[in-house]
Amino acid sequence: MKLFLFLITAFALSLQSFAQEAQWIWGDEDGPDNTWRCFRKELTLTSIPEAAVAKVAADSKFWLWINGEQVIFEGSAKRGPHPNGTYYDLVDIRPFLVEGQNSIAALAWYWGRSGFSHVDSGQGGFFFSAQLGDTTLGSDATWHTLVHPAYSREKTADPQPNYRLSEHNINYFAADNQIEGWHEKTYAITDAWKPAVPKGAAGAQPWGELRQNPLPLWMLSDLRPYENASTLPNAGTDQTIVAKLPYNAQVIPYLKVNAPAGKTIDIRTDAYQDGGIQEKRPQWATRSVYTTTDGIQEFEAIAWLSGHEVHYQIPEGVEILELKYRETGYATEFTGSFHSDDPFYNKLWTMARRTLYINMRDTFFDCPTRERAQWWGDVVNQLGEVFYTFDLESHRLIKKAIYNLAEFQKPNGQLYSPVPGKDRSELPLQMLNSVGWYGFWTYYLNTGDAQTIRDVYPYVKRYLSLWELGEEGLVVTRREGMWFWIDWGDNSDYGVLQNCWYYLAQKAAIEMAKLTGNEADVAGYRSNMQSIEDNFDALWNGTAYNSGQFKRAKDAPDDRANAMAVLAGLASPNKYPAIKKVLEEQEFASPYMEKYVLEALCVMGEEEASLQRMKKRYTVMVDAPYTTLWEFWKTGGMGTYNHGWNAPNTILSQYIAGVAVVDPAWETYHVKPQLGSLNSIQVRVPSVKGDIDVDINKTDKTFSIQLLSPEETTALVGIPKKHFEITEIKANDTPIWSGEPIANLEGITPAGEDQNYLLFTVAPGQWTFTAKAK
């Protein structure tokens, strides 16, 4: 109830922050779908205000210009923050204003259909509210509008985008339909422009609550030449023109041609059929079709595409003057890094980074072509990668994803994904993973963002209350409304897996309850965990965990299930040798669950086995002519060549380099390298406290760690004992261990040892540890 009242209060306050006259505006009709509508407003300013902040929204997307300068390229995150809300963008427009006459122009694109990452309101709309010093400006009937005549509502020739996508193909007819300079300051509206029709104030239905888009505006580059620009043809042909990109990217294709009117140019990427084709469920992505006017002309396909190549189909009779592109994407810096003495792992890490990045925009995606969907099983893997890869701007996308999952909770308490999206079946193991240790709690550990956990804990508690333990003390398998998908591939042991994910969710719930002041909930979670602990080994058959409850059984133990038993802490160390054998012999996991198999090997201290399995399974991808990682272990069929659930880079940074958070917000972290057969690693981890730089080198006689540790942190540095018998350890050339600790260096404190490491707590600063053998 407290959370509900908080949201209502916040909603009421947000309404007060909009200009009183601001209305959702459109034409007379409610849509229709795939409508591109232009808006203009003229205003006079006697002086430039000290502050000028605008709140702008649309169903579904908008582009904004002030005085002819583009302010926002593709605004509005896909609907919505919850099933009855719309995001608005907050933007500083002061730099674009001038004294005297000013013009505001916007292009809004209404899709008119829901998809796997967007909830259609059922009505096109554009909303603008600005505070200009002491005065306000809002979208109302004084604005003018018309449907852009060049962006046709008529569908392109088949095929159309598959059912998962809300976006339409662009069908642009330039001949006799251009509105030259309509967004420029000096443009004078014609009789074709009509007064906009007000449809309702902020908060009105069907758009609902207006909530600030928590994401940064997109990155958008200048026009760039293609990699093979020098060899591209200068005239149209009956052959597809393949323009190569430097890597798999989100792009805005561009062309400049000299042509007669009526020539049709098709623009798509090599990933247009990424995911293959099925007769009953086609997998087509989006494309743009441009029909020429007469003369020299330019066109940008402003609905982004992705791929390694842009394919232009330009007919004969068209002179090609320029083919270029803009790169676009989520606005974050590639601050994390990993480099070792084995080029294979270096390339794999960068491929995983590229895969992660191209699957980030309005939401996290599983893939940027077939679905653009925020499946939360994928998100869990992706958020773990983010903390080793990008700057802090990327954390906003995780936070948004967390609120999306919570606020789309069904009335009966079930959680589902992809979200935002229409009601779908619950994916039980993905949902447990999402609200659990690897999902919500990993976000908190890395950010220290307690308010988000406080906000979503009621949703987590309600969801977990749906789960039951049976007479045998283990999880009851089925519940109405479930889609019991475990992983792609055969031999998923859901009996073992559901108990592991449930256990980890209870473990995270204990921490969330304590953090949020709900200590009374802890005993129930602990009781559930104890029941699993007491009964889990009933699933052990002497050589592996095997519940007998399989999807597409293959008369073999499941590598996923046995890995998760280790990660949940339910498998005792005396079972590790048998489980290692399972993980070395069985390869049922898809790239989604492979991350957990590799991690389990590291947790068992079998990092070399993890590295070798990683190389064995990913070699086919690393050797392929792509810069991203795949949905399956081979391409073709239904699998994409770019799928967000791959996360081997997390294993390399967190376990092989050994840099991992211990206490929330990286107040304490450890450096416990597990190099295996590698001899050197350099890694940068972009923590919320600052970049952590680690340089590790190993020889037959020495092991060294150079550490640059940021302020307000404590590092726990582990010197591995397994490589050789250590006789001496120095820090910054000062002895700190010689058979036993020597506490004589300010900033370093001996912290004992465990089975694998000699441990030292380390203050912020630059440190060099060197261990020597006999």
Per-state percent for the chain, helix, strand, coil, to nearest 5: 25, 30, 45
The model's pLDDT over 152-169, given as tens digits with 9 standing for 90+, comes to 999 999 999 999 999 999
- Asked if 745 and 734 touch (Cβ cutoff 8 Å), the reply is yes
Judged against a pLDDT cut of 90, whether residue 711 lies above it is answered with: yes
> What pLDDT does residue 278 have?
55
Judged against a pLDDT cut of 70, whether residue 9 lies above it is answered with: no
The model's pLDDT over 512-534, given as tens digits with 9 standing for 90+, comes to 999 999 999 999 999 999 999 99
Question: What is 2-213's CATH topology?
Answer: Jelly Rolls (2.60.120)
The model's pLDDT over 107-128, given as tens digits with 9 standing for 90+, comes to 999 999 999 999 999 999 999 9
At 73, list the tokens.
Answer: 């390229």
> What pLDDT does residue 6 have?
34
Judged against a pLDDT cut of 70, whether residue 765 lies above it is answered with: yes
Considering the chain, what percentage of its residues have pLDDT values greater than 70? Answer: 97
> What pLDDT does residue 480 have?
74
Q: Report the distance separating Cα 57 and Cα 55, nearest Å.
A: 7
> What pLDDT does residue 178 have?
86
Superfamily of domain 224-329: Galactose-binding domain-like (2.60.120.260)
The model's pLDDT over 273-292, given as tens digits with 9 standing for 90+, comes to 886 655 556 689 999 999 99
For 629, the 3-state DSSP assignment is: coil
Mean pLDDT, residues 297-310 taken together: 97
Contacts of 755 (CB under 8 A, 6+ apart): none
- Asked if 26 and 124 touch (Cβ cutoff 8 Å), the reply is yes
> What pLDDT does residue 4 have?
33
Split at pLDDT 50, 70, 90, the class of 638 is: low
Judged against a pLDDT cut of 60, whether residue 385 lies above it is answered with: yes
Q: Report the distance separating Cα 562 and Cα 719, nearest Å.
A: 29
H/E/C letters for each residue in 341-397? CCHHHHHHHHHHHHHHHHCECCCECCCCCCCCCCCHHHHHHHHHHHCCCCCHHHHHH
Q: Where in the chain is the domain with CATH 1.50.10.10?
A: 337-656
Q: Report the distance separating Cα 211 and Cα 634, nearest Å.
A: 42
pLDDT averaged over every residue in the chain: 95
Mean pLDDT, residues 187-213 taken together: 97
Does the 337-656 domain belong in CATH 3.40.50.2300?
Answer: no
Cβ neighbours of 92 (radius 10 Å): 11
> What pLDDT does residue 624 have?
95
Q: Report the distance separating Cα 679 and Cα 102, nearest Å.
A: 63
For 533, the 3-state DSSP assignment is: helix
Q: Report the distance separating Cα 73 and Cα 94, nearest Å.
A: 17
> What pLDDT does residue 718 have?
98
Which tops the pLDDT comparison, 552 or 721? 721
Place of tokens 């990109």: 245
Judged against a pLDDT cut of 80, whether residue 85 lies above it is answered with: yes
> What pLDDT does residue 15 have?
40
C-alpha triplet 557, 558, 562: angle, nearest 5°? 95
Q: Report the distance separating Cα 330 and Cα 428, nearest Å.
A: 30
- Asked if 382 and 359 touch (Cβ cutoff 8 Å), the reply is yes
> What pLDDT does residue 406 have?
98
Q: Please confirm whether the linkage preceding 418 is cis (ω < 30° from 0).
A: yes
Split at pLDDT 50, 70, 90, the class of 424 is: confident
> What pLDDT does residue 353 have?
98
Cβ neighbours of 757 (radius 10 Å): 22
Superfamily of domain 671-773: Maltose phosphorylase, domain 3 (2.60.420.10)
Split at pLDDT 50, 70, 90, the class of 743 is: confident
Split at pLDDT 50, 70, 90, the class of 551 is: confident
pTM of the model: 0.96
Considering the chain, what percentage of its residues have pLDDT values greater than 90? Answer: 90
Q: Where in the chain is the domain with CATH 2.60.120.260?
A: 2-213, 224-329
Split at pLDDT 50, 70, 90, the class of 189 is: very high
